[in-house]
Structure formats: C-alpha cells, structure tokens
Structure 1
Amino acid sequence: MSLPRPPRPRAIIDRRALTVQLEHLTDLVSEGRPEGVRAARADILAAAKDALSRGREEIRRRFEGEGGSGAALCAGNTYLMDQIVRVLHDVTVTHLFPKQSRTTGEKLCIMAVGGYGRGEMLPFSDIDLLFLLPYRATPYTEQVVESILYVMWDLGLKVGHSTRSVDECLRQARADLTIRTAMLEARYIWGERALAQELTHKLYAKVVAGTGPEFLEAKMAERDKRHEKMGDSRYVLEPNIKEGKGGLRDLHTLFWIARYLYRVSDMDELVETGVLTASAAAKFSRARAFLWTVRAHLHYISGRAEERVTFDVQPRIAERMGYRDRPAARGVERFMKHYFLVARDVGNLTRIFLSVLEAQQKRRPMLSVPGFVMRRRNLNGFVLDGDRLAVPRPRTFADDPPALLRLFLVAHDHGLSIHPDTLRLVTENLSRLKGLRDDPDANAVFMDLLTHRKEPDTILRQMSEAGVFGRFMPDFERVTAQMQYDMYHVYTTDEHTIRAIGVLSRIESGALAERLPVATKVVHKAHSRRALYVSVLLHDIAKGRGGDHSVLGAEVAREVCPRLGLSDEETDTVAWLVLRHLDMSRVAFRRDVDDRKTIEDFAALVQSPERLMLLLVLTCADIMAVGPGIWNNWKAALLRELYYRTEEFLIGNPSTVSQDRRVERAKQALREALSDLPPDWVEEHLSRGYPGYWLSCDTTMQERHARMIHGAEGSAAGAGPGVTVDTRVDAGRGVTEVVVHTPDHAGLFSEIAGGIALAGGSIVDAKIFTLTDSMVLDTFTVQSAEGDALDQPHRLDRLRETVVKAVGGTLDLRGELARKSRKLPARAKAFSVPPRVIIHEEASKTHTVIEVNGRDRPGFLYAVTSALTHLNVQIASARVNTYGERVVDVFYLKDLCGMKIDHPGRLREIRRVLTQAVALQALESEHGSAVARDAERKATRAAE
C-alpha cells in the first residue's frame, strides 16, 4: 500500500541529513565499551528527538497556517514517522549491531499496521508496528527490535508492537478477526521488502480467499454492536468522531471490506470495478478529509488523543475551521450542522455500499445488469428481489415520480427492506421530488407515512437518511442536522422531531401506558388525529430562523397544512399547537397548580377540552424525545395534575369541591396503606398536610414520608424534633430522592440545597411543603454531576451527613460551594448563561412569583435562596428546573406578614438583589471569594 507524500517533505524531516549526523556512532561503539554504547544511544535519542520536534512543529505550522487540511496533516505525520523509523533501523543495524552479512533467519522487515498502516496519523495517534521475520526471532533480531523500541519509548511515543514470523501472522489472522483486519492494513516501511510481499501474497491466498461473505457479515455485526454501545444515533450532540455512528470507524469498515474483497488501496479504485460511482467515491474522500481535519483540531486543542467532540471544544474547532456567526445561527451551530450532514453521508455510504457488497457476495443479480430476472410477485407496482423491495425497471422513478414516496410506504406496510440498487436510484432521482410538493396524491402518501399505525418514525428516519424527507418538505431540510448549542438537547432538531413522532405512535398504541397513563387515555378521545401528528412534525420546524420558533412555526404550519390536505379547522388546530407547544410544560413545571389563578389563566389559553388533550399529548411526546433521563415521574405528576385541574375548570366542575374530593381520596388511600400503624397517630398525621401536599404526591411517596416521620418521632421521644434525612434510589429514572423532615426556620431551604450540592448532588426537582405543625417536609430529586443516580452507600451516607450538618449550621456552605464550583468540568464551563430575574406579577393573586435564570453550578440554588432569606421573604413553594447548563428556579413568595409583595420599590429591590446574588455566585465560582466580595462591596456602594 503506497501513500501520498506531503509537499516539501524535507522541510518536515531530512533523513539523509539525519543519517549523516549520526555517522560518528561507529567510532563510539567500535571498541565495544559500555560507555561508548550508552553515548551512542544518547546521541541517537537526542537527534531523533530534535528531528521529531522540528517535524511536528512544521506539520502543525502548515496545518494551522495553510488551510488546515487533515489529509495533508496525516500525510505529513505518516511521512515523519516513517523516516524516524527508517533512521532508527539503519543506525541500529549499521552502528549498534553491525554485521557483514546476515543469515536468512536474521532478516527483518518493519511494517506499519492499524491507523499508522493506512496513513491516518493524527497528532497524538498511536504508532502500531509489526516486526516481520522469516522464522522465529533470533538473538540478533531481538536486539535490533528492542533497541528501536527503547528509543521510540524514550521519545514519548505510544508504540504498539508485535514481532512475528510470516507463518505466525497467517495463523493468528485465521483465528482472530481483529488481527486479520490489522494485517489487511499492513504497510511496508523498511527492511526486507520481500518479507512484506510474501505476507501480503499469502494473506490473500491462504486466509482471505473464499471468506468474503464471512468477513462482510462479521464486520457488519461488529459495526452494529459498536453503534449500539455508542447510542445508535449519529445525531448525538457530543459525538465520538472515531467510534460514533457516522464517524471514522464507519469509513474504516468500508475500507477494510473493500480491501478484503477487491485488494484496493483506496476507495477511488472501486469506481473502476463498478462497485462505487464516482460521486460516491468523492463523497467518501470528502467525508474522510473533513473528519480528519476535525480530529486533528480536536487533538491539538486537547493536547491528547481525544475523540469526543464535547461542548467546550466545539466553539474552538468552529473558529479554527472558519465557521463564523450569522444572524440565524452561531458559528458553532453551523460547524456542527456540517458535521452531522457528513455523518449522514457516511451512513448513506455505509448502508448502500455494504448492501451492494452483500448482494454481490451472494451472487444476486444487480439492478444495473440488462435483462435481469425478478423472481417475485408484484407489490403495488414494486417487485421483490429476494427478500427486498425493488423497482421493476431502472426508469420507474423517471416515469412515475410519486413512486419515490410510495416505495417507502409499501416497504413499511409489508415489513420489507429496500434493495440497495433501488436506494441508489432514489438518490439519483431526488430532484423529481420538487415537482411533487403540490401533488395531492403525493401528499396523501406522505400523510399515510406520517400517521402510520406501525412505528412511523422508522420509515421516516429512513426517508430522511435517503434525502427524500427533506427534499419533499424543504422546511424539514432546513432543520436537518441542526444542533442546539446547549447541554439540554441531546439530538439534532430533525432527529428529535422523528423521535417525537415515534413517541406519539407508542402513546397511541398503548406501549407507554405505564409511563403516560393520562396521555394514553386521552389520545383516543381527541378528534384531530391528523392534526396531532402534523403538529409534532412541525413543532420545532422554525428553529434556527431567528426569532421565536413557536411563532414562526405557526406561520409555517399555516402554509404547509393545506398542502398536506388538512382542512381549515385542522390547519388552525396545528398552528395553535405549534404556537403553544411549550406552554403546558412551562405552566406545569414553573407554576403552582394549587394557585387558582394558574388554572384560570391556563384554561383561558387552551379554551377547549379538545385542545387541552392534544396539547398534553404533544407536550409528553416532545419532552420524552429530548433525550434519555429528561422525562421522569415528577414531571408526569405535574402535567397530570395541571391537565385534570384545567379539564375540571373547562367543563364547569367547581374546582374547590373536586379538590376536596381528591384530597379525601388521597387521605383514605394513605389510611389503608398505614393500617399497621396506630390509628390515632395516622389521623394526627393526616391533619398535618395542606391540600397541596395531598394533591402533589402519590400514595407511595406519602406512605414513605409517613413511615419516616413515625420512625423519627419514635426515636426522638422526649428529645424534641430534630433533622431527619431519608434517601431512596430510583434506578429506573436514574435519580435519588432526598427527603428532609425538620423544624422550619429562616434559611432552611438554602441550607438543605447547599448541603446537597456540597455532597455532590445536583438538584433537578424540588417539592417543598410546610406542615401544620411547623415542620417542613421537602423532597429533592437529585442526580450526580455525571447525570446518574447517587446510589453508592458511602455517597448516600455522606449526603445525609452533609445535609444534617448544613441544617445544623456547622458548615461554611458559601466557601465550600465556591471551591467546589471551581472544579466544574471544562464542557460545563463552555456555556455562559447571563443572570435573569423575571417577576410575574399577574401569575398569582395571593403570591409574588419570581423566576430566576442562570447557569447551573453547585451552589446556585443556595445563593438564590440565601438572598431571599436576607430579603425577609417567605418561600411558600418552589419549582426547580434544570435544562442542561441552564437552571430556572421559580419561587412563590410572601412577605413576613403573609401578604403578596406588590410594591414597585420592593419588587425592584428583589430583582436587584437576586440578580446580584446570581452574578456574584458565578464570579465566586470562577475567581474565588475575595474577588466576589470586592465585587459585592462595589455593587452595594453603587446601589446606595
């Protein structure tokens, strides 16, 4: 396998000059004295180190100053390492271990394998070497190999190596697929070339021959397993550029299979064989070059062999690669969109290429062969080729463009995969879809696909990857591969949309009845099924256009819906749902549904039970499709309660009566669950909770609370109430529930929040209840910094202990949290969220509603609630929401007399103090307490 030489190679390394520089080594070792040998080795190391350093500097200078070509960088690094290895070999056999003549058994060939073998040398790539021998190793070859490796290790190179004879290589290649793959990439560097030629010849003759289908199947299974491990989506917002779906390893798989079956050195050679078209080969080269360039920047920025394109490095790579901010999209978002489009191209190449190879290996007739025979029945104008759906003739799409859509519907109806040659024809005929956008029949087929009763997301995703979805619906193409630069959204906009459609389908089928019981029930009551599916399709369609995507999306809906065949009424419903698709979650998660004003305002917004049902289902589908771990039972309970309260209001039931009835039902359920406890104690306990408690917690949680309180009172008999902390791991949701029962006092909420943060917990939700006996019962939903449940016994013990100390006042919470905040991972520090305090004066008739926004970090909630304590206000209830790097805390406040705070001057003070508290907490976490205190003093003087 030959590789391209970099331009001006001697500016990178001059092997001849380096060899001449080391000619004096013969004199140093001629007398055989140990000190002479040591001096020779030191000179070799010094010269090689200098040459390696100069070469790397030149390669980096070219990369960062001459256009940043990853292909050129790989060629330069490979050339540099080849020359270093050649020099080390020559000085070793010439000066350190000279021999006038070597026996056959003492001959040695050095070959590059792995990424080094195929010329994919990034700044911090490993060096994989094969020392190839004719027979078993001799003392002489062992000395030579050892000497070369010692110098390379001393150079700081990460070297993987093996020393094998030709026969050993063949034997291990037969037994191990990984070694066989490495042998495919083996490239001659230096030494006895005849050994390299012998290995290559025998590998193909004795190992590869006749095993093509086996190798193809194994590599496809290996790829699928890797994809599953990496999340099985190419649209994850922090992709692994090497192992992720649509990454470099997928391209490697194509290359390995092509080399195994056709002995090609590069994918371009497959054009001559008819396996790839020229455009497909060019697409492969462009994708590889782009990924190499991104990976090179990633290595240089990280200073190591990093493969994950995390949030903190994405803006830096985007800037280095020339992606600038534009009015509708930031530079980093434009860069990542390009990345995901390349990943999609890699997926298309992989699917079509591997399918074609599989078909060829099984000797199936290719569609491009004239006069081929189909052995199958007709399916709605299509035919079966084996077990795959195909077109009956190459001109099918040209003669009947709507077949481009019907193909996917028929395939999905019959559970068939589509023949690779047919997919190739689809790609070649995508331009014909433009003329179908206003075709009623074509739009009817699209609606059948969108609203299919059987997993519509599966076929919509295939249509998207084939380019059909976006070409037929240009608005969808605009959000294809579009990322949102935050830590909340896990997928690109198009992938999120398709997943949301899949969630809606599973709600309708009953597959999510356990997690979404209300949505599963009401989805069948709603009359506007088509409108619901289209609203899910369009709910994020206007993202990235600048402005409110809900408002702009509603405008898009009014244009698109008539084209799709929806009636005026359905169009109006879809536009309203798109406009309001975020409102139900905002109200449920950030408002107190026990406040009647919340229900009145939300009912005035939705206006009808039909729209309420549709909005609930859309909201559930939207949230569940955001990413793993976003949906949880707490959010489900809040949405469910908002739905029932609003439904009762809309149909005219007096909510107070209904609320009393539900409270009594909850109490009766708890009586039955606590039948083993003393009845008098149970009745006393039932009198402690206000209605909000009974309506916001399910019976299981209330039972756990009651038993915790009963146990605490029993153990503290005669000693007065203390602090009780209970924890429960919910592995299914990946969270830990922390329940605190203690006497109420000023600043309690901030103390608990600070203790949890200090113990390594990140609060994702909180429910705050003050009982009638002046005790508080607060439930916090907590995760680790990594987004997992705190489930290790020692961490739970530390959490309980820290909360008790925090409530007891024995910890310097502010100082400890500031120190902890400075240890945030780099990816979390990549985001800046300006502090923002919003006062919702009309949200409640009885409380002042304050919303605080900022960047999530340890101690954020502590800082905010501490400021509220110093403002002498009461926190009646709170909603704590975390959206990736952004935290939104909503508090229902009263003054110390229990009245709503509405004086303009007092509200301005609250806004100023909270804004300052968030800003100072961010400053303290970044720069330390001294800087924050100085800023605080300046802010205080300015306010005065």
Structure 2
Amino acid sequence: MAGTTIPNRRAIIDRREVAARLHGLEADGSAALRAAAVEELREAMEKGGAEISARLVARPSHGSIITASYSFLYDQLLRLIYDFTVQRLYSNSNPSDAERLTLIAVGGYGRSELAPFSDLDIGFLTPYKQSPWCEQVIETILYTLWDLGLKVGHSSRSLDDMVRMAKSDLTIRTALLEARYLWGDETLYDEATRRFYVEVVEGTAQAFTAEKLAERDSRHERMGDSRYVVEPNIKDGKGGLRDLHTLFWIGRYVHQVRDLGELVEHGLLTADELKQFRKARTFLLAVRCHLHLISGRPEERLTFDVQPEIAKRMNYAERTGKSAVERFMQHYFLTAKQVGDLTGIFLAHLDEQYGPRGRRFIMPTLRRKPRKLNGFTLDRGRLSIPHEGFFAEDPVRLIELFALADKHGLEIHPTAMRQAGRDEKLVAKKVRKDARANQLFLDVLTSPRDPETVLRWMNEAGIFGRFIPDFGRVVAQMQFDMYHHYTVDEHTIRAIGLLSKIESGLLKDDHPLSHAVMGKLVSRRVLYVAVLLHDIAKGRGGDHSILGAEVANKICPRLGLDAGETQTVAWLVRWHLLMSASAFKRDLSDPKTIEDFVLRVKSPERLKLLLVLTVVDIRAVGPGVWNDWKRQLLSDLYSAAEEMLRLGHMHQGRNSQIEAAQKKLAETLGWSQSEMARHFKRMPKAYWIAENEETAAANARQMSAAEGTNDKLSIAMQPDPERGATLVTIYTADHPGLFYRLAGAVDMAGANVIDARIYTNRDGMALDNILVQDPFGGTFDDPGQLERLETAIRDAMANKHRMKERLEARPLSRTRAEAFHIEPLVLIDNKASNRYTVIEVNALDRPALLNSLTHALFQSKATIRSAHIATYGERAVDTFYLTDLFGEKIVNSSRLKALQKRLLKAAAAPKEEEQEAA
C-alpha cells in the first residue's frame, strides 16, 4: 500500500555508499568474494535496523512509516545483492532473451508492510523455463540472504507457470495481487502484470470475493469469532490486520487499485472512512512492530506478558480506575471495532455489485415480508432507509431501526448501518429522555427472540453506547487478568444472549434449575436490565458493584421501570457477586453460611433473580469457566436458601435433615441396627449435612472394609461426571499435617484440589473427602492418572520423599500467570461461622500453593475442618474453616496475627520470597 513517506532515507541505508564498498572488494575466488560482501551487507543491515528501532522508540505510534522503512531497507539490500551477483559473480554482458530475470516483492513485503521479524517474501520471474545463468543468480541471491540470517519465502516461476498456478491456487493469486517490482528486467515485470490481470483476474472478481470472504470467516472461527478476546491475534484475529488486507485485496482485484486512496475514487470508501482505514492500519502495524521487537521473533498474539510493555513503549499512562495496559487494550479493541465497521461498508458495496436482484450475495434470504415499517424500507430482504437524511428527521429512528429488525427478524442493510454510524451523535439528551425511544430499547433488550445479535449490531453502530452513555464507557474495556476472556461490553452482551437462551429452553439441559426459575419470575425485565447493568461501573476506580447500583438507580426510571423494579435491579447489581462468593468460598454445610446469605437476600424472588444472574455472569466470562462443580454448588446454595426462606428457622430444619440423611443411609446399607447406631455415633453432625446420600454410603462401606482388613490407609477414588470432578476419600488414623501431605500428593500427581471436607471421627480416625479435577477443570478419571494419584498419596503418607523440596524443584507450568502481580491477602473472619475461624487467602495461583498454605496452617497448630478452593484466572482464592487443637475457634489476637503472617509468607510466589531474603 504505497503512499507512505519515509523521512531521511539515507540514514537507514545509503545504497550508493554500500555499492561503492562492495565494488571495492577484492578476494580470491567467488566464494570468498561473496563472503566478504555478506559482511558488508550485514553491517549495513544491522545499522539500518538499529536506526529504524530508534525511530520506533521516538515515534512509537507511527506503524506505517516503520514498516515502510523496514521494507525500504530490504529493498535496497536486495538491489545491492542482485547487482553484486550479476555484475561481480555471474557477469553476463550479452544476455539472451531467456536470460532475463525480474525480482519482485510479494505478500506483506509487496505491500511494504514489513515488521521487524516478518518473512521476506520474494519472487523470481523468468520469461520461459529457467536458463542455467538464471538458476545460478537465483541460488546465489538466496544463499546470500540466508547467510544474512533472514527468513525468506521465495518462488521461481516462468510467466506461464505464474499464470497457471495463480489460476488454481488462491494463496498464490493473493500474493501476486500485491506483487511489487524490486529490481531486474522491468519489461518482464510489466508483461507479468499485464498477463496476470488479463488471464487470471478478468471475469473472476465475484468468485475471488466470495472465496476471500469465506476464507476470512473460516479464519475468524479458528481464532475465536470475537474481536474482543483479551489476548487477540493482531494479524489473523477478528478486527486485525488481515481483515484490512482482505478489504484491500478485494478492492484491488475488483477495481485494480494500486493505492488506498483509489478506494475513494471507486466509491468503496468515503474520505473520512479512508482516514479511519489508514489510522487503524497505522496503529495495528505499530503494535505489531513493538510485539516483534519485544518477543524477538515473528509473534502475532498479544499475550498478557507483552501487553504492559507495549503500553509503556507506546506512552499510555494510568488514569483513575484504569491502568496503562487497560487503556492501551481499550484503544486496541476500539480499533478492531472500527475495522469491523469498515468491513460492513465494503460488504454493502459488494452486495450492490454482485447480489442478483431478489436475493443477497452474502446474507441468507428473507422468509416473510413485514407490513408496518414506519417509513423504513426493504432492500432485498434487509431493513434499510429511504434516504440519507432519514435519521436526522427523527433521531428516535436510530433506536427504532434495531427494534424493527428484532421484531420482524430482519437483518439490517449495511448502508443503513453505515448511516446509523455516521448519525450516532444525533442520539443526544433529548433522545435519551424520549419515552418511546426508551420503550423501543427495552423491547430489544427483553426480546423473546435474539436480543444478543441485535444489541451487538447496536453496539457495532455506536448507538448502544450513545443511548446508554454509562455502557459507552465500558465499550472495548478489557480487564487485565486471566479470568475474563472478553471486554466488558462483549461479556455483557454475551450474558444477555445466554439469559435469552436459558429462558427460551435452548440451554434447558445445561441449566435446568435456571430455566425452571425463569418461568416463575414476577418481573423478567428486571433480570434483563440487571444483566445489562451488572458490570457497567467497571473501570471507575471503586467497587463496581456499589457504583453500578448508583448507575442503576439513575437509568432504570428512564427505561420505564417503576420504583420497586428499580430498587430490585439496584440490589441485584450491588450484590451480583454474593451468590458465587458464598457458594465457592464458603462451607455450605455450615448453617451460618446459609443464614448470612438468606439475611442478605431476604426474599424468594430476589433469590431466583440472583441465581440466574450469577449463572449467566459466570458462563459469559469465557469458555471453560463454567463447570458441573459450580453448577452443583450454586444449586445446593439455592436449595438450602429457598428452604430456609420457605420454612423459617434453620436449626429445626438442620436436625430433621440429619435424621433424614441417617434414615436414608440405613435403608441403602441394610446394616443391623447396632452397626448403624455405632456408625451414626462416630460421625460428627456436620458430616450429615455436608455429604450427599451416595457419598455417605460409599464412605460407610469403605470404612467398614478397611476395619475388616485392618487397612491402615484406605484410599477410594470415584469419578463423578455430574460434578465434573473425582471424589478421593482417604480413611486413616488422624495425625497433625495429614491434609498438607494430601494436598502435596495431589499436586505431584498433576491434579487440582477444588474442595475438601475433613472429618475427625470420635474414635480418632480421619475421613477426608477431597474433590479433584485435572488442570483443565475436567474429571480426573484416566486409569493412569488415578494410579499415579494413589501412589503419590501413599508415598506422602509414608513420608517417602521430601515433599516440599520435590514440589519446589518442579518447573512452573503456568508461565502466563507470571505476567501478573497479585499482592497476597489473608482475611480472617470469626463471624462467618459459629463454630470455626474462617480464613480466606488470595494469591497468585501456582503449583503447590495449596500445599504451602496447608503446611503453614500445620506449623501454626491449626486444625483444618474444610477447605474450599476457587481459581479466577491467575488468582487463587482458598478458604479454610479452622479450629485450634481442642476444636475451638482461634480467637487470641496475637496468635491470629502470627497465623496471618505465616500464611502471607506461604502465599508469596517463590521469586518474591527470594527477593525478600536478599
């Protein structure tokens, strides 16, 4: 893409000066002469590369100039190599017609878009089959480039070969489309260009366009079909450089344009849109150059570890509520969104040119024709506008456009989307206060059809953020962590889509409880508005739940919600993390957990609303975050809270619950009355609340079998696909430090503890029920895995190995987490339980963290009664229910301080510990 002016080119490389040095080289034989030339060229290349890198530091956002500068450097080097080869090494003063050769740049190099570690894509063209002289020259040029350490993509073809292969291979055709003359026989290059357009391109524009768009869709699907993934691929991801290239390829193929500016002449872009195209391209190229230089290789993925460094290099500064890296990534996502807008504009023109009358080129056909469109029109089955001034006449139509699209199941014509994007500023205070506009927006948000798609269109056009300015503040806003996979706006729109699918029954099998609850709600629109607003105050420098509740109190009346609905939405936004925190970080068998939760929720309707809001919030975080274990915990909490809200006082229900559990177990086991009585007597009360019927029966049989065979260490493993985890039960004599050894053994076997219930029977035996998963959140159920885990547990119990040293010696597998710093935090709560001291530890997740923490508790002479392990990306949140050695709460303040200090030290990453020691 020509048109970029490179300042002071000779400071990068002075071809005349280098040519003079090459001309003056003397050596014995061609091999020695070429070796001497390579050293001269290497010096020039390194000097030029250093100059360009310095320019990137000085002007870190000038991506187009930098990539053009790299291209210029290699243009000059290739010309020098070519001339040196044909003049000094293989001189040919009277070449025949067959001994003509042209050197061309193709692909990204042809576009003059070379990043620091990009491949050098070149082509050699000959008029006919290669002559021996051409073969020698080509081979020598390539060897010289390889000796310089360059990664070269190359091809050698005759003109006939070029035409034949371009016709049959889309990749070759695309590369040649961007071919640029470098050096050699210009007449041959002109002939190649003429033949390419006459014999390959002519008459195939429609087919090429369709193939390129199909290729683009396939690439998006492969990369994850969202431009808002928080570790985007800058080249191939949605909204990345390749999307811009696709548009330019199509424009060049259809209209044979040679420069971006010509797209305006052909009506493919307006002057403003061309400006946006260039701005997006420059930014993305700058980011790519920084990414290559930081990585030291041709890296295209914008991973967490490089994002802060690029933000620093590109001079992003911290602002209230937003770190420098979050501001940089928001700029990136806004640029990706702009690329998406430009893509839509191109598709509109292509559709006009190639879509036969009555059907659409890219979109599916319309099923039915709506009657009332209030002045809007249909263009080949898509909702459109009669003229450019249509929205200006009545700006409420900018909301109505999307409401009609939803109501009638229509797609919006790209020209209407284009005009809506241009007119987005018409959505001002007057429109936001308009009752009809607010009702239309609420209709879209709470649509029983497909609100996710229509809201996404509204967001792409910029109307969503204009109509709800608070939402506009989180558009393209990322959260710099490994837990959230999408930007805030994308997460919110996905959550609304999931809510709609759960309600309609599309996800009934995945979420039966949530689907059932949805049908019993008094006000479904309260839930949809709460999902819209639950994260709306992120990035404001405070608790987004509290700030979001304030936003809800402001927005809900505007949308037409009454005072009661507004209060409920504000409460849901304020406490939208309450249910997940209670379910994942607290012991649900402890009555105080349920009491505290119910005390906050207060009503069955709020409980229903909070359950579904929690489910869609977790599911919309990203793939792999939701699992059966989380579903089970939330269902258990919901059931317990619903029962308490329905029946009232908890303790009466608790005693009857214990009796019912014991009665069921007696029926299942069929043991004698005396055997059952003995078993009931030895187990603590908490056991009967915590464990389900199947687990209690399995535990009883295991304990009986172990006593029958005098087994000192009984280990049972039962994969539980319903919970997506494997239950590991250890029955052995209780002793201090038992659990920390078990935690280390589980880690050594490559599993993760997600929950643990630890019981000391009245006869001094320990029964530990530990739930484990594989590192990907799946059931740890492979026979080899289970065998390895049992061996690790037996070795740990026998103290065969020095567990701590073995764990610390293992290489850290989760290197991505090293991009983050989490200050360890230890919270001690003596009010969360009537019987136990509850300690919550927040720390950077790493292998053997649980072992380190439980060893610290062992050293502190604290007894672990249950442990609940949650992981949020790179952040581990481990909660322990503790007593002292006498079974009492730990209340002594100096002991609690010492315990906190020891846990903080254990939670610190090993590197941090070393730094402290130094």
TM-score by length of 2: 0.93
1:136 and 2:129 correspond: yes
**Alignment partner for residue 566 of structure 1, among 558, 561, 571?**
561
Counterpart in the other structure of 1:15: 15
Within-5 A mapping of 1:168-183: 168-183=161-176
> Secondary structure at the residue paired with 1:267?
coil
CA contact (8 A) 1:819 1:925 kept: no
Structure 2's unaligned 5+ residue stretches are 361-367
Aligned-pair distance for 1:552?
A: 0.8
Counterpart in the other structure of 1:889: 878
**Alignment partner for residue 267 of structure 1, among 254, 260, 272?**
260
Amino acid at match of 1:258: G
Counterpart in the other structure of 1:455: 450
1:552 and 2:547 correspond: yes
**Alignment partner for residue 807 of structure 1, among 772, 787, 797?**
797
Identify if the C-alpha distance between structure 1 residues 799 and 155 changes in structure 2 by more than 3 Å, giving closer, same or farther: farther
> Secondary structure at the residue paired with 1:164?
strand
1:300 and 2:293 correspond: yes
Aligned-pair distance for 1:528?
A: 2.0
Identify if the C-alpha distance between structure 1 residues 697 and 128 changes in structure 2 by more than 3 Å, giving closer, same or farther: farther
Q: How far apart in 2 are the matches of 1:217 and 1:202? A: 23
**Alignment partner for residue 862 of structure 1, among 851, 857, 874?**
851
Within-5 A mapping of 1:196-211: 196-211=189-204
Within-5 A mapping of 1:245-264: 245-264=238-257
RMSD: 2.9
Counterpart in the other structure of 1:239: 232
1:848 and 2:814 correspond: no
Q: How far apart in 2 are the matches of 1:355 and 1:692? A: 65
Aligned-pair distance for 1:364?
A: 6.1
CA contact (8 A) 2:530 2:572 kept: yes
Q: How far apart in 1 are the matches of 2:198 and 2:781? A: 55
> Secondary structure at the residue paired with 2:622?
coil
Amino acid at match of 1:844: S
1:422 and 2:416 correspond: yes
CA contact (8 A) 2:471 2:536 kept: yes
1:477 and 2:472 correspond: yes
1:521 and 2:493 correspond: no
Identify if the C-alpha distance between structure 1 residues 729 and 580 changes in structure 2 by more than 3 Å, giving closer, same or farther: closer
Which is further off, 292-301 or 202-211? 202-211
Q: How far apart in 2 are the matches of 1:458 and 1:380? A: 20
Identify if the C-alpha distance between structure 1 residues 5 and 412 changes in structure 2 by more than 3 Å, giving closer, same or farther: same
1:223 and 2:216 correspond: yes
Q: How far apart in 2 are the matches of 1:558 and 1:90? A: 74
Aligned-pair distance for 1:377?
A: 6.7
Which is further off, 626-635 or 646-655? 646-655
1:388 and 2:377 correspond: no
Which is further off, 904-913 or 183-192? 904-913
> Secondary structure at the residue paired with 2:472?
helix
Aligned-pair distance for 1:569?
A: 0.6
1:820-865 superposed Cα distances (whole Å, 9 cap, x missing partner): 36x4555311211112111112111111111111111112111111
> Secondary structure at the residue paired with 1:407?
helix
Q: How far apart in 2 are the matches of 1:46 and 1:212? A: 46
Identify if the C-alpha distance between structure 1 residues 496 and 377 changes in structure 2 by more than 3 Å, giving closer, same or farther: closer
Q: How far apart in 2 are the matches of 1:791 and 1:594? A: 26
Aligned-pair distance for 1:916?
A: 2.8
CA contact (8 A) 2:6 2:68 kept: yes
Within-5 A mapping of 1:569-608: 569-608=564-603
Q: How far apart in 1 are the matches of 2:197 and 2:679? A: 80
CA contact (8 A) 2:370 2:408 kept: no
Counterpart in the other structure of 2:728: 739
Q: How far apart in 1 are the matches of 2:785 and 2:414? A: 53
Amino acid at match of 1:386: R
CA contact (8 A) 2:719 2:780 kept: no
**Alignment partner for residue 78 of structure 2, among 73, 85, 103?**
85
Which is further off, 750-759 or 384-393? 750-759
CA contact (8 A) 2:756 2:768 kept: no
Within-5 A mapping of 1:775-814: 775-784=766-775, 797-814=787-804
Q: How far apart in 1 are the matches of 2:556 and 2:19? A: 74
Counterpart in the other structure of 1:726: 717
Which is further off, 153-162 or 261-270? 261-270
CA contact (8 A) 2:219 2:236 kept: yes
Identify if the C-alpha distance between structure 1 residues 872 and 651 changes in structure 2 by more than 3 Å, giving closer, same or farther: same
Counterpart in the other structure of 2:157: 164
Identify if the C-alpha distance between structure 1 residues 927 and 377 changes in structure 2 by more than 3 Å, giving closer, same or farther: closer
1:651 and 2:646 correspond: yes
1:741-771 superposed Cα distances (whole Å, 9 cap, x missing partner): 2414322221222223334444454455556
Which is further off, 586-595 or 225-234? 586-595
Identify if the C-alpha distance between structure 1 residues 441 and 45 changes in structure 2 by more than 3 Å, giving closer, same or farther: same
Counterpart in the other structure of 1:439: 434
> Secondary structure at the residue paired with 2:768?
strand
Q: How far apart in 2 are the matches of 1:778 and 1:63? A: 58
Q: Percent identity?
A: 48
Identify if the C-alpha distance between structure 1 residues 597 and 454 changes in structure 2 by more than 3 Å, giving closer, same or farther: same
Q: How far apart in 2 are the matches of 1:208 and 1:670? A: 78
**Alignment partner for residue 464 of structure 1, among 448, 459, 466?**
459
1:64-84 superposed Cα distances (whole Å, 9 cap, x missing partner): 124442111101100111111
Counterpart in the other structure of 2:905: 916
Identify if the C-alpha distance between structure 1 residues 847 and 209 changes in structure 2 by more than 3 Å, giving closer, same or farther: same
Identify if the C-alpha distance between structure 1 residues 741 and 763 changes in structure 2 by more than 3 Å, giving closer, same or farther: closer
Q: How far apart in 1 are the matches of 2:662 and 2:150? A: 69
Q: How far apart in 2 are the matches of 1:508 and 1:412? A: 17
**Alignment partner for residue 404 of structure 1, among 398, 407, 421?**
398
Identify if the C-alpha distance between structure 1 residues 729 and 193 changes in structure 2 by more than 3 Å, giving closer, same or farther: farther
Aligned-pair distance for 1:516?
A: 2.2
1:243-301 superposed Cα distances (whole Å, 9 cap, x missing partner): 11111111111111111111112332111111211111111111110011111111111
Q: How far apart in 2 are the matches of 1:397 and 1:9? A: 49
CA contact (8 A) 2:61 2:283 kept: no
Aligned-pair distance for 1:3?
A: 5.7
Amino acid at match of 1:17: E
Identify if the C-alpha distance between structure 1 residues 155 and 532 changes in structure 2 by more than 3 Å, giving closer, same or farther: same
Structure 1's unaligned 5+ residue stretches are 29-34, 368-374, 936-944
1:329 and 2:360 correspond: no
1:276 and 2:266 correspond: no
Within-5 A mapping of 1:922-941: 922=909, 924-925=910-911, 934=917
CA contact (8 A) 2:726 2:780 kept: no
Identify if the C-alpha distance between structure 1 residues 680 and 112 changes in structure 2 by more than 3 Å, giving closer, same or farther: farther
CA contact (8 A) 2:2 2:260 kept: no
Q: How far apart in 2 are the matches of 1:673 and 1:226? A: 55
Counterpart in the other structure of 1:46: 39
Within-5 A mapping of 1:649-798: 649-656=644-651, 658-659=653-654, 709=702, 713=705, 718=709, 720-722=711-713, 724=715, 726=717, 728=719, 737=726, 739-743=728-732, 744-768=734-758, 774-784=765-775, 797-798=787-788
CA contact (8 A) 1:867 1:914 kept: yes
1:770-793 superposed Cα distances (whole Å, 9 cap, x missing partner): 567724233233333x77776777
CA contact (8 A) 1:727 1:796 kept: no
1:541-567 superposed Cα distances (whole Å, 9 cap, x missing partner): 111111111111111111101100000
1:616 and 2:611 correspond: yes
> Secondary structure at the residue paired with 1:246?
coil
TM-score by length of 1: 0.90
Identify if the C-alpha distance between structure 1 residues 702 and 12 changes in structure 2 by more than 3 Å, giving closer, same or farther: farther
> Secondary structure at the residue paired with 1:857?
coil
Identify if the C-alpha distance between structure 1 residues 699 and 363 changes in structure 2 by more than 3 Å, giving closer, same or farther: same
Which is further off, 897-906 or 489-498? 897-906
Q: How far apart in 2 are the matches of 1:696 and 1:219? A: 58
Q: How far apart in 2 are the matches of 1:592 and 1:291? A: 48
Q: How far apart in 2 are the matches of 1:562 and 1:900? A: 48
